[in-house]
């Protein structure tokens, strides 16, 4: 509980990231073919940022928060007292395997909890590195790593925790919440969905497409907030394809497969799943694959039908379908007919159009005129809504998620006179006082 | 699916955007205010029929506290609805970063019988304020109030967006099969589990206001008269049928001796020599609850009260002395006008006793020594805490009201209700220009670019002289 202890643990984690950088980067490369600078900027930098923020802000976040009093409580002390919840379970995902364990872990420690961490077995190298390193730096009595797959996780979920934060897909999200319900355990579920990206005719197409290309093909499309599909007017579809093609060359060179900056699909199962989605589609660009190395080239599909398979599930791969719509109204309707996504993107020079899209849709979070970036703004909560999740974390929101806000009213034992009003025998005249 | 049509209808209204403009929300909230004003007499009568609720109490909890919540909401709604702008880092100075307050959609509010108007109305205020449509499911056990709400609420609220569903367990189970965008439940932990399990099927977020045994520690240094009055008030309000009532007392044997005459005096002061004849003392809501409570009277020894009358469902304000932890009265939430006293040797033993049990909704500590009150606060965990009084912490709308662990998850009252029914959506509106600022993030990745990114995105430690 003491703040000094928490800060000590957080600083130990900072040392771990700095001292063991090589090992962590090697694991990320082995799991997802992430290159050094790539892995560093996408995972380690975020972790270090979160650590510094936590250490800096802990004293002010954890301080009792006085509240406004009313006539009856003027003489009392009224405040919100922040307390740890107890033992927290963090279940990570494989796509940003280091980041998605470390960020919640930092939040849970900052709030004063004991933590059990369950990294994804799919990103096995990172899981192993975490299992080896965390006990070396953190207090073993309070923080533990559990490794394993579905059977181990199921067993773990029968235990009682005081909060569970799960990052992954909706199907397992349901299972986690149902297991939590047995113990009345609050949950934060960071799930996913199909994050739409609407491109207005009135926008700087070159810039828009560069930003979209960056967000879509980062980590080979395996990002929960990646723009999943594009909605645009048929008249600009070809230009969009051209611009993305150009940008891809700029980013990854002529031979994408040999670029050190382009990732791979995590495993055979997902490789086959994504390949399946290409069936019957008009491939405007890309489509090359290599099963042995789980390589799928950056791919763009045009004139995609809303009913096709690729439009039914979250793609989570380097395949970008374009669905044409005649207007922003049609785009908004299209989006609202579907489940609420984790992220939503809109590109336009028209401020009014952007305001309208925000007002008439719902999503976990959103960015206008860029992609992914709302997730790195320190003051914004990161989380989903509806099928894309519940709860939020990052920064102060992590602290609040993993804390109990206990209301406290401390009164005086004297001054009974004021209380007499409320005691029986009561009368309506007294009430109107 | 018997309720599928109703839920679809509300969802269609929701999708039409009807509930979103502030004017609409204000109009609905004002209508709720008129409901409370117009139907005041009916509410007092219905709750008296349901559980003998004294008019004074009914006015206080069902009308006054609700109007407070309504007024706090109406006074602040404009501000609460506004986008909250947040701090930005170096590269985003020309961008707009804010939190948008989005409604969830169609929400379900399930209320219990003990404060049958308050416990659906206060959540409903937040749901409406946040721009949602809502289905209200009042308790069938407080059947007069249920009928009143079912028959009259629709005259005040827009029936395209708000509906009342009546019925018992089978009806509620069918209702829960539908997909809601938020579920707010007040009731027992066992039903709370059922609600959360049903919600999990649709990934519906929930707030559960549950209960437990709220301990009340009385130290040896205190003003016995005032303690007795405040504890008696909290315990016997609504004949003990209050989720935050002090459930049991922990004190030394000497304090038990001192408290007894003080409690007797407080009870007589409040309800006269025969509480059965007092208009200010309630009754038990049902035969089932009455029999459950009567069985608890065998715990310890009856020091005060103990009289019962089955026909009236009357149980006298009762204090049980020398109760053992293994006694029936210590096995379940009492929810009746019975106050067991468990004797402990000192404060440490009291704290250990409390911590060995599930975390309660409320925790009370009485002492003239503020250090003792603080110790109890620091060394225990509970939904809320009140030092030197009972119940009062929930009347302050600026304090969040909710449980922890078995006593619940989530919180409400005041702005917290609005926030409960709001999705806080992180939004970033960037500039399409200044593309060169973005170049460090694009492939091909180089150490040089990484250096630039680190500099612009890093949060630097603010110097080492931070005194804790």
Cis omega (within 30 of 0) for bond into B444: yes
Quick one: tokens of B205? 């977020």
Q: Distance (Å) from the C-alpha of residue A280 to the closest C-alpha of chain B?
A: 31
* Rounded mean pLDDT, A400-408: 97
CATH classification of the domain holding A128: 3.40.605.10
- The pLDDT confidence band at residue A430, using thresholds 50, 70 and 90, is low
CA distance A386 to A251: 35
Is residue A279 located within the same domain as residue A399? no
A408–B57 CB contact, under 8 Å: no
Is residue A129 located within the same domain as residue A251? no
CB-closest option in A40, A383, A409 to B386:
A409
On whether residue A420 sits in a domain, the answer given is: no
A391–B205 CB contact, under 8 Å: yes
* Rounded mean pLDDT, A249-263: 93
Q: Identify from A377, A395, A419 which residue to disrupt to test chain B contact, counting B C-beta atoms within 10 A and taking the largest count.
A: A377
Is residue A307 located within the same domain as residue A159? no
pLDDT in tens, A304-351: 999 999 999 999 999 999 999 999 999 999 999 999 999 999 999 999
Confirm if A72 and A90 have CB atoms less than 8 A apart.
no
Examine the residue annotation and report whether B254 is marked as an active-site residue of this protein: no
CA distance A104 to B260: 51
CATH classification of the domain holding A291: 3.40.309.10
B196–A177 CB contact, under 8 Å: yes
B383–A406 CB contact, under 8 Å: yes
Q: A427 to chain B: which residues are within 8 Å by CB?
A: 56
Q: Distance (Å) from the C-alpha of residue A367 to the closest C-alpha of chain B?
A: 5
Beta A163-167 vs A187-190: how paired, if at all? parallel
B102–A362 CB contact, under 8 Å: yes
Does A36 reach chain B within 8 Å, measured CB to CB? Answer: yes
A12: pLDDT strictly greater than 60: yes
Per residue, the 3-state secondary structure of A203-260, as one string, reads: CCHHHHHHHHHHHHHHHHHCCCCCCCEEEECHHHHHHHHHHHHHHHHHHHCCCHHHCC
In the structure, how many helices (H) and strands (E) does chain B have?
16, 18
What 3-state DSSP class applies to A183? coil
For CA atoms A156, A160, A163, A168, give the dihedral sign: positive
Q: Distance (Å) from the C-alpha of residue A51 to the closest C-alpha of chain B?
A: 9
For chain B, which domains are there? 3-211+410-423 (3.40.605.10), 215-406 (3.40.309.10)
Q: Distance (Å) from the C-alpha of residue B265 to the closest C-alpha of chain A?
A: 13
Through-space distance between the first and last CA atoms of chain A, rounded to whole angstroms:
44
On whether residue A428 sits in a domain, the answer given is: no
On whether residue A405 sits in a domain, the answer given is: yes
Residue A433: the pLDDT is 46
B406–A184 CB contact, under 8 Å: yes
Q: φ and ψ at A203, to 5 degrees?
A: -165, 165
What 3-state DSSP class applies to A190? strand
Is residue A207 located within the same domain as residue A150? no
Task: Determine the Cα angle at A229 with ends A228 and A230, to 5°.
Answer: 140
**Among residues B66, B243, B251, B386, which one is catalytic?**
B243
CA distance A200 to A81: 48
CB-closest option in B104, B368, B400 to A80:
B400
Q: Distance (Å) from the C-alpha of residue A272 to the closest C-alpha of chain B?
A: 27
On whether residue A111 sits in a domain, the answer given is: yes
Is residue A268 located within the same domain as residue A153? no
Q: Identify from B54, B86, B200 which residue to disrupt to test chain A contact, counting A C-beta atoms within 10 A and taking the largest count.
A: B200
On whether residue A126 sits in a domain, the answer given is: yes
Q: A286: alpha, beta or left, given left = phi > 0 and alpha = psi -120 to 50?
A: left
Confirm if B97 and B86 have CB atoms less than 8 A apart.
yes
Render each residue's pLDDT in chain B as its tens digit; 468 residues: 899 999 999 999 999 999 999 999 999 999 999 999 999 999 999 999 999 999 999 999 999 999 999 999 999 999 999 999 998 877 788 899 999 999 999 999 999 999 999 999 999 999 999 999 999 999 999 999 999 999 999 999 999 999 999 999 999 999 999 999 999 999 999 999 999 999 999 999 999 999 999 999 999 999 999 999 999 999 999 999 999 999 999 999 999 999 999 999 999 999 999 999 999 999 999 999 999 999 999 999 999 999 999 999 999 999 999 999 999 999 999 999 999 999 999 999 999 999 999 999 999 999 999 999 999 999 999 999 999 999 999 999 999 999 999 999 999 999 999 999 999 999 999 988 888 888 889 988 888 888 888 877 766 666 544 444
Residue A122: count other Cβ atoms within 10 Å of its Cβ.
Answer: 18
Choose among B411, B408, B384, B115: nearest CA to B238. Answer: B115
Distance of CA A377 to the CA centre of its chain: 13
Helix H or strand E encompassing B253:
helix B253-271
Does A280 reach chain B within 8 Å, measured CB to CB? Answer: no
B424–A347 CB contact, under 8 Å: no
Choose among B6, B157, B69: nearest CA to B401. Answer: B69
Residue B436: the pLDDT is 83
Q: A103 to chain B: which residues are within 8 Å by CB?
A: none
Residue B60: count other Cβ atoms within 10 Å of its Cβ.
Answer: 17
Is residue A224 located within the same domain as residue A307? yes
Q: B388 to chain A: which residues are within 8 Å by CB?
A: 410-413
**Among residues A220, A224, A232, A294, which one is catalytic?**
A224
B427–A35 CB contact, under 8 Å: no
Q: B55 to chain A: which residues are within 8 Å by CB?
A: 426, 428
Is residue A178 located within the same domain as residue A203? no
Does A358 reach chain B within 8 Å, measured CB to CB? Answer: yes
Is residue A140 located within the same domain as residue A250? no
B200–A373 CB contact, under 8 Å: no
Is residue A64 located within the same domain as residue A211? no
Examine the residue annotation and report whether B310 is marked as an active-site residue of this protein: no
Q: φ and ψ at B301, to 5 degrees?
A: -130, 145
Does A403 reach chain B within 8 Å, measured CB to CB? Answer: no
A213: pLDDT strictly greater than 90: yes
Q: Identify from A85, A410, A412, A433 which residue to disrupt to test chain B contact, counting B C-beta atoms within 10 A and taking the largest count.
A: A410
Boundary of a domain, candidates A335, A356, A376:
A376
CA distance B168 to B137: 9
On whether residue A382 sits in a domain, the answer given is: no
Is residue A95 located within the same domain as residue A44? yes
Q: A320: alpha, beta or left, given left = phi > 0 and alpha = psi -120 to 50?
A: beta
Residue B61: count other Cβ atoms within 10 Å of its Cβ.
Answer: 22
Residue B89: the pLDDT is 78
Residues forming beta bridges with residue B341, ordered by sequence position: B249
Which range of residues forms the domain containing residue A355? Answer: 196-376
Is residue A160 located within the same domain as residue A299? no
List of residues 6+ apart from A27 with CB closer than 8 A = A97, A98, A125, A126, A128, A129
What 3-state DSSP class applies to B270? helix
On whether residue A45 sits in a domain, the answer given is: yes
Domain count, chain A: 2
Does A144 reach chain B within 8 Å, measured CB to CB? Answer: no
Confirm if A99 and A47 have CB atoms less than 8 A apart.
yes
Q: Distance (Å) from the C-alpha of residue A9 to the closest C-alpha of chain B?
A: 16
DSSP state of B359: P
On whether residue A432 sits in a domain, the answer given is: no
Confirm if B59 and B44 have CB atoms less than 8 A apart.
yes
| Residues in chain A, total | 433
Residue B465: the pLDDT is 44
Q: φ and ψ at A95, to 5 degrees?
A: -80, -30
Q: What is the predicted ipTM?
A: 0.94
Confirm if B283 and B313 have CB atoms less than 8 A apart.
yes
CA distance A64 to A108: 18
Is residue A235 located within the same domain as residue A368? yes
What 3-state DSSP class applies to B292? helix
Does A81 reach chain B within 8 Å, measured CB to CB? Answer: yes
pTM of the model: 0.95
């Amino acid at each position: 509980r003491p703040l000094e202890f928490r800060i000590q643990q957080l600083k130990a984690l900072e040392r771990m990231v700095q001292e063991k950088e090589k090992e962590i980067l090697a694991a990320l490369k082995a799991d997802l073919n992430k290159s050094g600078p790539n892995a560093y900027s996408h995972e380690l930098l975020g972790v270090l940022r979160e650590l510094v923020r936590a250490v800096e802000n802990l004293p002010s976040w954890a301080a009792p928060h006085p509240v406004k009093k009313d006539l009856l409580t003027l003489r009392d002390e009224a405040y919100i007292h922040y307390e740890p919840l107890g033992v927290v379970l963090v279940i990570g995902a494989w796509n940003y395997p280091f980041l998605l364990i470390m960020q919640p872990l930092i939040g849970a420690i900052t709030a004063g909890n004991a933590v059990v961490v369950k990294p994804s077995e799919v990103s096995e190298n990172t899981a192993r590195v975490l299992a080896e390193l965390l006990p070396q730096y953190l207090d073993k009595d309070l923080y533990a790593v559990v490794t394993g797959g579905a059977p181990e996780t199921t067993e773990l979920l029968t235990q009682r925790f005081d909060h569970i934060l799960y990052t992954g897909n909706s199907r397992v999200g349901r299972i986690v919440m149902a297991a939590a319900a047995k113990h009345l355990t609050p949950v934060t579920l960071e799930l996913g969905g199909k994050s739409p990206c609407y491109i207005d005719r009135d926008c700087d197409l070159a810039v828009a497409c560069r930003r979209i290309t960056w967000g879509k093909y980062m980590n080979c499309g395996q990002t929960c907030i990646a723009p999943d599909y594009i909605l645009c007017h048929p008249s600009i579809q070809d230009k969009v394809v051209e611009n993305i093609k150009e940008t891809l060359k700029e980013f990854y060179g002529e031979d994408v497969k040999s670029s050190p900056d382009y990732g791979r699909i995590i495993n055979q199962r997902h490789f086959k799943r994504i390949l399946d989605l290409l069936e019957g589609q008009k491939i405007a660009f890309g489509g090359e694959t290599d099963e042995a190395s789980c390589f799928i080239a950056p791919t763009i599909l045009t004139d995609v039908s809303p009913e096709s398979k690729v439009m039914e599930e979250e793609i989570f791969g380097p395949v970008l379908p374009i669905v044409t719509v005649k207007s922003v109204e049609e785009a908004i309707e299209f989006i609202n007919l579907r489940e609420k996504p984790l992220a939503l993107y809109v590109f336009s020079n028209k401020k009014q159009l952007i305001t309208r899209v925000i007002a008439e849709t719902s999503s976990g979070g959103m960015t206008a005129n860029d992609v992914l970036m709302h997730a790195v703004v320190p003051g914004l909560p990161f989380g989903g809504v509806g099928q894309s999740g519940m709860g939020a974390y990052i920064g102060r929101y992590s602290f609040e998620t993993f804390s109990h806000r206990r209301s406290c009213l401390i009164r005086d034992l004297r001054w009974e006179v004021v209380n007499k009003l409320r005691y029986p025998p009561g009368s309506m005249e007294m009430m109107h006082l | 699916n018997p309720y599928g049509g109703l839920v679809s209808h509300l969802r269609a209204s929701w999708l039409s955007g009807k509930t979103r403009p502030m004017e609409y929300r204000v109009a609905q909230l004002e209508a709720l205010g008129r409901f409370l004003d117009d139907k005041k007499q009916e509410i007092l009568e219905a709750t008296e029929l349901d559980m003998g609720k004294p008019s004074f109490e009914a006015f206080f909890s069902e009308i006054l506290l609700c109007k407070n919540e309504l007024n706090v909401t109406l006074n602040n709604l404009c501000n609460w609805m506004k986008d909250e702008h947040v701090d930005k880092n170096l590269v985003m100075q020309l961008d707009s970063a804010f939190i948008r307050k989005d409604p969830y959609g169609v929400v379900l509010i399930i209320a219990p019988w003990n404060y049958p108007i308050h416990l659906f109305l206060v959540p409903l205020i937040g749901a409406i304020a946040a721009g949602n449509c809502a289905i209200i499911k009042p308790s069938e056990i407080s059947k007069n109030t249920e009928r009143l709400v079912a028959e009259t609420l629709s005259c005040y609220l827009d029936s395209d967006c708000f509906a009342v569903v009546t019925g018992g367990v089978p009806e509620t189970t069918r209702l829960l099969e539908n997909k809601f965008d938020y579920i707010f439940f007040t009731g027992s932990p066992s039903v709370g589990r059922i609600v959360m399990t049903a919600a999990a099927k649709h990934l519906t977020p929930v707030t559960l206001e549950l209960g437990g045994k709220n301990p009340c520690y009385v130290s040896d240094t205190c003003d016995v008269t005032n303690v007795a009055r405040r504890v008696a008030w909290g315990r016997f309000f609504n004949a003990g049928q209050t989720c935050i009532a002090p459930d049991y007392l922990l004190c030394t044997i000497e304090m038990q001796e001192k408290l007894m005459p003080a409690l007797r005096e407080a009870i007589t002061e409040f309800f006269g020599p025969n509480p059965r004849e007092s208009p200010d003392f309630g009754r038990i809501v049902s035969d089932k609850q009455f029999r459950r409570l009567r069985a608890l009277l065998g715990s310890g020894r009856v020091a005060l009260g103990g009289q019962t009358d089955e026909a009236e469902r009357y149980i006298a304000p009762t204090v049980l002395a020398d109760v053992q932890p293994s006694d029936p009265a210590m096995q379940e939430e009492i929810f009746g006008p019975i106050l067991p006293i468990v004797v402990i040797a000192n404060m440490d033993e009291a704290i250990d006793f409390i911590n060995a049990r599930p975390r309660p909704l409320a925790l009370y500590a009485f002492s003239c020594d503020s250090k003792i009150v603080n110790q109890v606060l620091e060394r225990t965990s509970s939904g809320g805490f009140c030092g030197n009084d009972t119940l009062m912490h929930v009347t302050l709308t600026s304090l969040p009201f909710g449980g922890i662990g078995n006593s619940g998850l989530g919180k409400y009252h005041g702005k917290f209700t609005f926030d409960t029914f709001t999705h806080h959506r992180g939004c970033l509106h960037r500039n399409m220009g200044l593309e060169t600022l973005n170049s460090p993030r694009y492939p091909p990745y180089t150490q040089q670019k990484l250096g630039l990114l680190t500099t612009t995105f890093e949060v630097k430690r603010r110097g080492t002289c931070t005194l804790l």
